[in-house]
Amino acid sequence: MQRDFFKYQAQTTPFAAGFEVDRAEGSYIYGKDGRAYLDFVAGVSANTLGHSHPRIIDAIKEQADKYLHVMVYGEYAQEKPVELCRLLAEATPAPLEVTYLVNSGAEAIDGALKLAKRYTGREEIIAFKDSYHGNTHGALSVAGNEAHKREFRPLLPLIDFIGFNDTTGFDKITEKTACVLVETIQGAAGFILPDDDYFIRLKQRCEEVGALLIMDEIQPGFGRTGKLFAFEHYGIVPDVLVMGKGMGGGVPVGAFMSSKEIMQSLTHSPKLGHITTFGGNPLIAAASLATLQEVLASDLMEQIDRKEKLFRELLIHPKIQKVNGKGLMLAVDLGSAEFTLSVAAECMRQGLIVFWQLYRNRYLRISPPLTVSEDEIREGCAIILAALDAV
Ligand code: PLP
């Protein structure tokens, strides 16, 4: 299989692992080599409830027995997407109320940017240095990393970048700004947290000039920081909330959410302001709804603080410089990219899956399923410490 993987499945890195997966359950992925690998990456923050969670599998099977795709987005009322959107409205503060379901995080970002332009009638966008929002042309245009986008220009015009946690850039947010797009916790940059009142001040500035604040919660969403969405830690509510990854519990999905008033601007001038065939697909919505119901009904979010503390207590080693992040999105600074990649490879040899942060390879990524147990945290951290000694 590995040979055909490299021969027929397009690659965009010269160093894909090509790890042959047999099955996955709970916090473990089982390889074709017969070994169990403890998964501290969760498909890059996607497998909120671990692998093959029975509630998600049952929801998918039940929906598959009824119907799959029946119509393009938004034409027919189908139980699972409707229920998902209703529950999202109940679980988030006003004015967040209506949700547009799409197929990926990047598409949700594109949709949110279009929404802001359409609603405000403005053309300019403010994004952040070191940000990552996905890889479509639109999402790449707002990425704050020149190396990843240089070769794909021309991208969207009228986008300017300011520094995360830097209020001096606020004067770039003006009456011409349609929206400010920000990750609540900067992911690719190494899980960088906002300063205490940064978002309060950012929101204030947006309100002063009538720009929409869009928050990208594609990684923190559903529950990864101990709240359903990370903005809830910071005393503000965005005008537009973007989610993806972990909201699916292992299926491809994205969404952007806003007030009824703002979202309605996509229904006219032009009508069909965003179109997607498979957005709101019932099978995907069934999995996402099951994920949301489980996150809300269980005590998983309450456990996050304790699990973060345990990671921080265990990850002490002379080769660890610091641990960034919040909840179960942690980035362990090992000083150099080369060393981090070697440590990740050694962890894999010892049965632990870890990864690195996209822009800052010196950070080892730890984003396990929310369901990871304290024993599994101990087991995985022991492997990391052993790998640090061995490399
Ligand atoms: N925004 C953030 C913060 C992300 O981490 C990602 C994916 O890693 C995206 C957007 C893009 O999501 P997707 O890969 O589903 O398009």
Shared-domain flag, residues 43 and 69: no
CATH number of the domain bearing residue 247 = 3.40.640.10
Q: What is the pLDDT of residue 289?
A: 98
Which residue, 262, 297, 332, sits at the end of a domain?
297
Shared-domain flag, residues 292 and 305: no
Shared-domain flag, residues 10 and 109: no
Shared-domain flag, residues 63 and 17: no
Rounded CA separation 229/216 (Å)? 10
CATH number of the domain bearing residue 34 = 3.90.1150.10
Q: Is the Cβ atom of 220 under 6 angstroms away from ligand 1?
A: no
Q: What is the pLDDT of residue 15?
A: 85
Rounded CA separation 292/286 (Å)? 10
- For the chain, the three-class secondary structure string (H helix, E strand, C coil) is CHHHHHHHCCCCCCCCCCCCEEEEEECEEEECCCCEEEECCHHHHCCCCCECCHHHHHHHHHHHHHCCCCCCCCCCCCHHHHHHHHHHHHHCCCCCCEEEEECCHHHHHHHHHHHHHHHHCCCEEEEECCCCCCCCHHHHHCCCCHHHHHHHCCCCCCEEEECCCCHHHHHHCCCCEEEEEEECCECCCCCECCCCCHHHHHHHHHHHHCCEEEEECCCCCCCCCCCCCHHHHCCCCCCEEEECHHHCCCCCCEEEEECHHHHHHHHCCCCCCCCCCCCCCHHHHHHHHHHHHHHHHCCHHHHHHHHHHHHHHHCCCCCCCEEEEECCEEEEECCCHHHHHHHHHHHHHCCEECEECCCCCCEEEECCCCCCCHHHHHHHHHHHHHHHHHC
Shared-domain flag, residues 160 and 283: yes
Q: What is the pLDDT of residue 359?
A: 94
Residue nearest to atom 5 of ligand 1 (CA): 219
Shared-domain flag, residues 128 and 208: yes
- pLDDT tens digits, residue range 163-194? 999 999 999 999 999 999 999 999 999 999 99
pTM of the model: 0.98
Which residue, 279, 297, 315, sits at the end of a domain?
297
Shared-domain flag, residues 158 and 182: yes
Compute mean pLDDT per 10 residues along the chain, 391 residues long, and list them.
94 91 98 98 98 98 98 96 98 98 98 98 98 98 96 97 97 98 98 97 98 98 98 98 98 98 96 96 98 98 98 98 98 97 98 96 98 98 98 95
Q: What is the pLDDT of residue 14?
A: 86
Q: Is the Cβ atom of 223 under 6 angstroms away from ligand 1?
A: no
Shared-domain flag, residues 79 and 202: yes
User: Separation of 252 CA from ligand 1 center, angstroms?
Assistant: 11
Q: Is the Cβ atom of 248 under 6 angstroms away from ligand 1?
A: no
**135 CA: nearest ligand 1 atom:** 16
Which residue, 258, 281, 297, sits at the end of a domain?
297
Neighbours of 278 (CB within 10 A): 15
**254 CA: nearest ligand 1 atom:** 15
- pLDDT tens digits, residue range 192-210? 999 999 999 999 999 999 9
Domain count, the chain: 2
Shared-domain flag, residues 17 and 144: no
Joined tokens for residue 82: 């409707």
Shared-domain flag, residues 211 and 277: yes
User: Separation of 188 CA from ligand 1 center, angstroms?
Assistant: 10
Shared-domain flag, residues 35 and 175: no
Tell me which residue of 68, 61, 120 sits closest to 262, measured CA to CA. Answer: 120
Shared-domain flag, residues 255 and 360: no
Range of the domain at 357: 2-52+299-390
